[in-house]
């Protein structure tokens, strides 16, 4: 388990002012920038693609944590890597060949992640955990920001952290995504999560830096 990472999601930013959002988040000491890519098929919402990721790349030095909520993600991994993604997560539900897809992400020089919808069991990553740098446990059904946190996902986090420990995968990051806020961060951290995506909790706050610091402190407690 690593030290806590806070990854604000720009899904909750004003899409007309993404550059300003990235500058503000870096100043507020965010660790990573979480970029939600949606295709209108895998999830019922459509956001941004590689050209926008590329256009945003010069706006910050922070790593881009790209969350692909798209069908057939294996077809566009290279485009996201070239656009400046540092970390790429694909959904297990969209990937019949997860073993191959995770290997491809690493071959492109990125860190690879597997995201799991709330209804997807932890067992789906059991045999490929050594190929993952991150498991993203969705704590909402993906598609929209601002949804309510599903607390039952704590059990899934515990199972994955235990499996990682059994395999000696001490560097595996367990990232939680959806409804994470200063109120919910402590319980997912206690279950074994060390990486925290937050969209609305940060963008609705008056003070990004204070909210990020508060979440980090609560995750470490
Ligand atoms: C949901 C996205 C999340 C979303 C989180 O489909 O994957 O990253 O932006 O937003 P909040 O923190 O508002 O739930
Ligand atoms: Zn996300």
User: 176: CA distance to ligand 1 center in Å?
Assistant: 10
Q: Rounded distance, CA 94 to CA 209, Å?
A: 35
In 3D space, the residue among 178, 179, 200, 211 whose CA is nearest the CA of residue 12 turns out to be: 200
Q: Quick one: which of 87, 19, 6 has its CA closest to 52?
A: 19
CA atoms of 30 and 94, how far apart (whole Å): 29
**Residue 45 clears pLDDT 90, i.e. is over it:** yes
177 is catalytic: yes
pLDDT in tens, 90-125: 999 999 999 999 999 999 999 999 999 999 999 999
Say if residues 132 and 172 touch (Cβ distance below 8 Å): yes
CA dihedral sign of residues 70, 73, 79, 81? positive
Q: If DSSP codes are grouped into helix, strand and coil, which group holds residue 36? A: strand
Q: Which residue has the tokens 């995506």?
A: 197
User: Tell me: the pLDDT tens digits for 57-70?
Assistant: 999 999 999 999 99
CB distance 178 to 144 below 8 Å: no
- Give the pLDDT confidence score for residue 110 in this predicted structure: 98
If you measure from the C-alpha of residue 58 to the centroid of ligand 2, how many angstroms do you get, rounded to a whole number? 21
Give 2's pLDDT tier (boundaries 50, 70, 90). confident
Cβ within 8 Å of residue 42, ≥6 positions away? 69, 70, 71, 91, 93, 94
**Residues 35-48, mean pLDDT to the nearest whole number:** 98
User: What atom of ligand 1 comes closest to residue 115's alpha carbon?
Assistant: 7
Q: What is the mean pLDDT of the chain?
A: 98
Tokens 């881009």 label which residue? Answer: 64
Q: Are 178 and 152 in contact (CB under 8 A)?
A: no
Which ligand ends up closest to the CA of 145? 1
User: Is 133 considered catalytic here?
Assistant: no
Write b or e for each residue in 178-192: b if 16 or more Cβ atoms lie within 10 A of its Cβ, otherwise e.
Answer: bbbbbebbeebbebb
């Amino acid at each position: 388990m690593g030290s806590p990472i806070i990854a604000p999601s720009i899904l909750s930013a004003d899409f007309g002012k993404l550059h300003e959002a990235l500058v503000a988040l870096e100043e507020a000491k965010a660790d990573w920038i979480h970029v939600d890519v949606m295709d209108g098929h895998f999830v019922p919402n459509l956001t941004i693609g590689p050209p926008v990721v590329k256009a945003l790349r010069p706006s910050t030095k922070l790593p881009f944590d790209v969350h692909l909520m798209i069908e057939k993600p294996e077809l566009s991994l290279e485009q996201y890597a070239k656009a400046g993604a540092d970390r790429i997560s694909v959904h297990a539900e969209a990937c019949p060949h997860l073993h191959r897809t995770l290997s491809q992400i690493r071959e492109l020089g990125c860190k690879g992640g597997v995201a799991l919808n709330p209804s997807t069991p932890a067992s789906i990553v059991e045999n490929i955990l050594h190929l993952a740098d991150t498991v993203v446990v969705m704590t909402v059904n993906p598609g929209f920001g601002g949804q309510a946190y599903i607390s039952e996902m704590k059990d899934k986090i515990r199972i994955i952290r235990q499996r990682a420990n059994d395999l000696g995968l001490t560097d595996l990051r367990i990232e939680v995504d959806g409804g994470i806020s200063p109120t919910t961060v402590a319980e997912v951290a206690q279950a074994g999560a060390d990486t925290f995506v937050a969209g609305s909790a940060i963008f609705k706050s008056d003070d990004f830096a204070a909210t990020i610091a508060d979440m980090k402190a609560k995750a470490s407690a």
